[in-house]
Structure 1
Amino acid sequence: MKKRSAMLLLSIMLAIVTVLSACGNSDSGNSNKGGSASPNASSDKKAPSDEKVTIKYYNWDNESTSPNTRALLDQFEKENPNIKVEHIVLVPGNSVEMLKKLDFLISSGEAIDVIGVPSLDAVIERASRGALAPLNDYYKAEGLVPEDEYFVNPKIDDNYYGMQNTTSYQFILMNKNALDEAGLPVPTYGWTWDDFREYAKKLNKGEGVDKRYGSYFHTWELYMNPPAQTVVRNPFRYEDGTTNYSDPTYKYFFQLRKDMEAVDKSAKPYADVLAAKLNYRTEFFNEDAAMILSGSWMVPDPGNLEQYPHDFVTAFAPVPLPPASAEPKDYEGGKYFVGGSHLAIGATSKNKEASFKLMRFLTTVESEFKTEFSGWKKSDPKPLIDRLIGGNAKMYDVDSLKNSLFSDKIEYLEASQVVTTFGSQLAKVQADSFSKFMLGNESIDDIQKQMVDEATKIIKENTK
């Protein structure tokens, strides 16, 4: 009798444990860190409608941008009274150091909600490590197609991991007074780097220390081979994963740069740029150069006469395309690569639905507190252009600016499907090879072969 009572008691206890275990696993969908399976949106713990949740938003705001972010978050909280947002600036104004601190928090197991991520590559790298939550089911629940919403959608296999928040465009800034003086029209979409070279020759003026060069190239990767940075999806690798340093654009542009310096004398020598540690803004606004390749972060500068005093009008042109003889292997008919920051959800977040709601708000809201172009395709950029130009519209050829960014002819590339977590190593190969070619006497063929060999070795070592 005692034995039967003991057995009955044991059975009851086992049943209770089973029920409790089942309850404890009801939110297991949120613990997926593998990054390969889409989470179940319904697996988020459902809070009663009157229960408030707090989510954390991590980014690298500085002193001037942080108040704007807080204003946007206040508006979100007003529209969503059950969601409170804590704004956490990990490293003010430094996205590189911010990512290091973020990775430490992720590795320590801290619950991470919404993250501001500075680039597509930074999203893909963390998604490949399982640090970010896929967004598929949240998009599906809202009836959204990411490609219809955003210019670039970070994706691994069929899973989306980032929501584009801001967009950075590239264009050519041009001294409109110098163009008029030389009888040159403002270029439009479709002009090539061969055309750019001809423009630079005609925009040269003067000699010696008073010379105005037709163009200026700075020291960044962007200026070593702009076609690889502006008209293909990945600056270092083809979509099949191999190095693109064998691409005809490298031979073409390396040689173009050297010829513009040594033959045409229309670009300040690379050696002088390095030695003098020149400032690209100063070179343009001091009229030491009539053209410069740059990006949308410079839109406010022509109107900032206090910081950059000058008396010429700035015109804008789309980035030149490679000529037919130097089109990249992965060329997609003149579409441009577009950069920008993204928002993502940490795999460890316990409030993914609320986090997704905040991300959609931040990426789609039209607000005076936004100071960068939106990554949302349906955004109206004109009010932002007016705000960026400010009260000095007379210093701009405004039509050329709008035409360079939003012409109906201009299309943008989708995200690369190649995951490269060792881009800095490949970038160093390019920088070292470019310097060797510009400052030495080796042939472009020898330089390119060395680049291909070194990059192939790095790719093999990192993709075993």
Structure 2
Amino acid sequence: MKRTLGFGFACIVLVLGLLTACSGGGNSKQPSSGQNDSAGTSTNAPQNQTDNAPADEPAQEQVTIKFHTHGVEQQYNWSETIAAFEAKYPNIKVDLVTLSEKGDSQEALQKLDLAAASGEQLDVLMFSDPASYAQRVSIGMVAAIDEFIAKEGFNVADEYRVDTTLGGKVYALPGKFNPWYVLLNKDHLDTAGLPVPQDWTWDDFARYAKELTTDDHYGTYFHGPQNGGWMEFMKLHLGNRLDESTEFLKDDGSSNLDSPLFRKTLELRWQMEKEDQSAVPYADMLSQKLHYRTQFFNQDASMILIGSWMNSELGGTEQNPLDHHVAVAPYPKNDPSDPIGVTPVTTDFMAVAEKSKHKEEAYTFIRWYTTEGLANYGRNIPSWTRVDGSSLEKIIDSILADTLKPELVDKASLIHVLSNSKSGKIIPPVSYQSEVYKALNEEFELFILGEQNLDDTLKNMQDRVQKIIDSNK
């Protein structure tokens, strides 16, 4: 979409499009007082009064900011986190708006766009993926925060392990640092006589899946792509490159679909599902609406490639109890000589709404949350670079302690993977990235369902994506 579109019209167009588809710390400066024109109240934390201000200073007027998120309490510990923030900044109250009770990011995006189109108060916005973040920046929903960063005087690249820059400006700070890894049913591995991998390739992954497959379960389950989302499962071999593009587009905006690694991913998906029969069929995923959590915790699949947001559930939850031992392996490499631990990394993009009347207060919250907030109260590893190795085990212990059976988790393998994880080259997303995803997803389905061969699939993908690129120049 063009930035010249009016904000309201652009949001309405985006909403209609979505509805037709599926699916710092302590050096942050105290914000200046803002006009309190919000009637919202926090549902999470106790009331903090402004009479906590020093006696020789005038009490600051209390401001309420609304925080719209897809994140749920179980995974993010909002109640304790927001209470801690409000205790430190008693003039700022945070009204949490949970957009999906299931933590469904697509449902949350639809509701967020409806809220924006209807003129509701927006202050802090949380996006779960680069494409959603870039698209809302392109329509003017998100404010640049460079002035606040400059005022505070820090370098984003030094402070955080994930780059959120778009077009030379910073519109968000990264929250969690979630490298992708492989969850393993250790009981299944022991039965098959397979060790927990500490360094392996995609060939090893395919061999493990084949050896783990029995009459009772598959070796692995791929949760995507589907509905233009979960596209990580279409770039398996692309995902662990340090100096080359890990995306479908290169950093100059040109297509990366002619990469041999992209072809190898499609070949691997076909081999594992059709030839080895070690992966849950794609058609079953769609028709039965399968989910990676139930596939793993119900022991229907021995290995799950997924992001480490699963740390908070590894020991089992009330929704997904755990009855087997769990181990963790690193993201597989392309070649044995490749460095270990290079993996796709996901984060939460913590942003300030362009229409917010309390931008400084909103920035204060996202800066605090992405630093000491996550480090001390969150249930995810922060992107903040000040969290070193000595702090990692304490954070993991805290995360696992909130699960039902932490003793069933091989903590040593988890620490090994997380401490050695590093992000592959991050390519800033383009505003039309969702169009690219949709086209690729549609062609992949024709391929994996046996309706067109690999060569035709690659040609159609390249042609369709090039047309999208050309139309957005």
Q: Same fold (TM over 0.5)?
A: yes
Contact 1:169–1:295, Cα closer than 8 Å, also in 2: yes
The residue that corresponds to 2:399 in the other structure is: 388
Q: Is the 8 A contact 1:246 1:449 kept in 2?
A: no
Deviates more, 1:101-110 or 1:316-325: 101-110
1:266-285 to 2 correspondence within 5 Å? 266-285=278-297
Structure 1 residues 200, 88: CA separation in 2 closer, same or farther (over 3 Å shift)?
closer
Structure 2 residue 410 is the aligned partner of structure 1 residue 397: yes
Report how far residue 173 of structure 1 moved. Answer: 1.0
The secondary structure found in structure 2 opposite 1:214 is strand
Q: Which amino acid aligns with 2:93?
A: V
Find the aligned partners of 1:64 and 1:113 in 2 and give their Cα distance: 20
Q: Does 1:85 align with 2:97?
A: no
Partner of 1:411: 422
Q: 2:386 maps to which residue? A: 378
Secondary structure of the residue that 1:297 maps to in structure 2? helix
- Give 1:432's aligned residue: 442
Q: Distance in 1 between matches of 2:109 and 2:290?
A: 28
- Specify the alignment match of 2:248 in structure 1: 236
Residue 398 (structure 1) shift: 0.9
Q: 1:259 to 1:167 in 2, by over 3 A?
A: same
User: What is residue 287 of structure 1 aligned with on the other side?
Assistant: 299
CA shift, 1:317, in A, is 0.6
Asked if 1:254 is matched to 2:262, the reply is: no
Distance in 2 between the 1:186 and 1:345 partners? 42
Residues 362-403 of structure 1 show CA distances to partners (whole Å, capped at 9, x for unaligned) of: 112256642233232223443342233235233111111111
Aligned residue pair count: 408
Q: Equivalents in 1 of 2:205, 2:148: separation in Å?
A: 45
Matched with 2:18 is none
Change in Cα spacing, 1:400 to 1:90, as seen in structure 2 (3 Å) is closer
After TM superposition, the score normalised by the length of structure 1 is 0.76
* Offset, 1:97: 4.7
Cα distance change on mapping 1:69 and 1:142 into 2, 3 Å = same
Aligned-partner Cα distance in 1 for 2:133–2:191: 46
Match of 1:173 in 2: 183
Give the 3 Å change call, closer, same or farther, for CA 101–306 of structure 1 in structure 2.
Answer: closer
Q: Which runs of 5+ in 2 are unaligned?
A: 1-28, 35-56, 226-230
Alpha carbons of structure 1 residues 303 and 451: separation in structure 2 relative to 1, 3 Å? same
**Mapping of residues 138-217 of structure 1, within 5 Å:** 138-189=148-199, 191-205=200-214, 210-217=215-222
SS of the residue aligned with 1:365? helix
Q: 1:187-222 CA deviation, whole Å, 9 max, x = no partner? A: 124x221111122233233xxxx3433222233333
Give the RMSD, CA atoms, in angstroms: 3.4
The structure-2 alpha-carbon separation of the partners of 1:300 and 1:241, relative to structure 1 and needing over 3 Å to count, comes to same
Instruction: State the match for 1:11 in structure 2.
Output: none
Distance 1:57 1:152, change over 3 A: farther
Match of 2:316 in 1: 304
- Classify 1:347/1:49 alpha carbon distance in 2 versus 1 (closer, same or farther; 3 Å): farther
Residue deviations 1:315-370 (CA, integer Å, cap 9, x gap): 11111122489x9xxxx997323112122123344443333222221112256642
Cross-structure match for 1:444: 454
Q: Distance in 1 between matches of 2:100 and 2:459?
A: 42
Larger deviation: 259-268 or 300-309? Answer: 300-309
Q: Give, as a single letter, the amino acid of the residue that structure 1 aligns with 2:69.
A: W
Cα 1:70–1:248 shift into 2, 3 Å: same
Any idea what the Cα deviations from partners look like across 1:80-113, whole Å, max 9, x if unmatched? 23x2224141634454454445445656777743
Whether the aligned pair in 1 keeps the contact of 2:176 and 2:348 (CA below 8 Å) is yes
What displacement does 1:66 show? 11
Query: Residues 170 and 293 of structure 1 are in contact (CA less than 8 Å); yes or no, is this contact kept in structure 2?
Result: yes
Within 2, Cα distance between the matches of 1:236 and 1:242?
A: 9
Q: Which runs of 5+ in 1 are unaligned?
A: 1-41
1:342 alignment counterpart: 349
Alignment partner of 2:61 out of 49, 52, 65: 52
Separation in structure 1 between the aligned mates of residue 277 and residue 194 of structure 2, nearest angstrom = 19
> Is the Cα–Cα contact under 8 Å of residues 151 and 414 in structure 1 kept in the other structure?
no
**Identity of aligned pairs, percent?**
32
Contact 1:152 1:413 in 2 (8 A): no
